[in-house]
């Protein structure tokens, strides 16, 4: 770990398997130019919060229904980010679309992992199992995962890293989802975070 690592916030909604991959990568030295300082969930029951607490990482819950509007929700997240000096934001299974009003404040500072090879099966409505259902329905033989910067267009930011995963004949959306996570997402997300943090330090 560097003396002044880049401060990372991870935004989560669910189980937090990608968060766990990031924590493991930090512990094993794959991520050395950055440090996860904060985990923000938009779901109070997200298991990801437990993973963060177990790793000694500060957590926060921000609920849109309590705040009354998307604007207030995004502002609360911004406040938490600035209070904690966050420099990079990683969306790890975060099920809320961030508006242009939010993304424009963090150019090339928000990273997302998408469970397909962009530009295939991406954009509005393509998230979670829907992506794998679409890949199987279309009959593609190869899928994978993409880590990209986030801008105002869903899945539209510059690509940082991609990894291909072969589809098997008897795959279901669930088996495919697990393989894409294991073989692609959990590998390229930590590598991409390190790459972006290292570049920030060198600038």
What is the set of active-site residues? 114
Please provide the distance, in angstroms rounded to a whole number, between the alpha carbons at the two ends of the chain.
18
* Tokens linked to 37: 């300082």
Strands 34-41 and 58-61: parallel
CA angle (73 as vertex; 128, 99 as ends), nearest 5: 60
Tokens 């030295």 found at: 29
| Length of the chain, in residues | 203
Instruction: Give the pair of three-digit tokens for residue 153.
Output: 């267009």
The Cα–Cα gap between 91 and 150 comes to 9
């Amino acid at each position: 770990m560097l003396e002044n690592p880049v401060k990372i916030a991870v935004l989560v909604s669910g189980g937090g398997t990608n968060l766990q991959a990031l924590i493991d990568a930090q512990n094993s030295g794959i991520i050395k130019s950055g440090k996860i300082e904060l985990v923000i969930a938009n779901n109070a029951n997200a298991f990801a919060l437990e993973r963060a607490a177990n790793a000694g990482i500060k957590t926060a819950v921000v609920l849109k229904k309590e705040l009354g509007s998307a604007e207030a929700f995004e502002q609360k997240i911004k406040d938490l980010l600035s209070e904690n000096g966050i420099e990079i934001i990683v969306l790890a299974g975060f099920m809320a679309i961030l508006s242009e009003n939010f993304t424009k404040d963090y150019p090339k500072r928000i990273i997302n992992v998408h469970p397909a090879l962009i530009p295939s099966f991406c954009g509005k409505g393509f998230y979670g199992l829907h992506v794998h259902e679409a890949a199987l329905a279309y009959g593609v033989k190869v899928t994978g995962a993409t880590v990209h910067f986030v801008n105002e267009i869903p899945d539209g930011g510059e690509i940082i890293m991609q990894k291909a995963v072969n589809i098997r004949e008897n795959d279901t959306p669930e088996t495919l989802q697990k393989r894409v996570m294991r073989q692609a997402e959990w590998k390229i997300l930590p590598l991409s975070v390190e790459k972006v943090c290292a570049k920030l330090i060198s600038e």
